[in-house]
Amino acid sequence: MGRFATGKFAYGISDRSGQRYKLNRMKKEWNGLLVGPDEYDPKQPQLEPRRKAVDPQALMDPRPNVPEPYNIYVGVPNVQQKDFRPTVAYGVVGTVTVSAS
């Protein structure tokens, strides 16, 4: 296959303006147009497709598997009463145990 000439003295016509430029100084744009160096317009970043953002997935069972004690005091703890007994409740989601101490 043959080789192309260097085009040292050749001219080209701009696809955008129709002006004449030296062929070896012309630039090809991202859209395929052959334009002069003063008409060259690089591809804008807005034309690139955005990356797909991956949404985080929820955990299947985010609670711990061990029961955590949760103290609930029923009554008025600061007032000394004759029959006052604080009540403590321990539980896990779905079950509650109440004990009087």
In a domain, 36, yes or no: yes
Neighbours of 27 (CB within 10 A): 15
Assess whether 35 and 67 both reside in one domain.
no
In a domain, 6, yes or no: no
In a domain, 85, yes or no: yes
The residue range of the domain holding 29 is: 11-45
CA separation, residue 5 to residues 8, 13, 17 (Å): 8, 17, 25
Assess whether 67 and 97 both reside in one domain.
yes
What pLDDT score was predicted for residue 52? 79
As averages over each run of 10 residues, the pLDDT of the chain (101 residues) reads 76 93 92 93 85 76 70 60 59 62 59
What pLDDT score was predicted for residue 76? 57
* Count of the separate structural domains present in the chain: 2
What is 13-60 written as a DSSP string? E-TTT--EEEGGG-EE-TTS-EE-TTT--PPPGGGSPPPPPPPPPPPS
Assess whether 35 and 69 both reside in one domain.
no
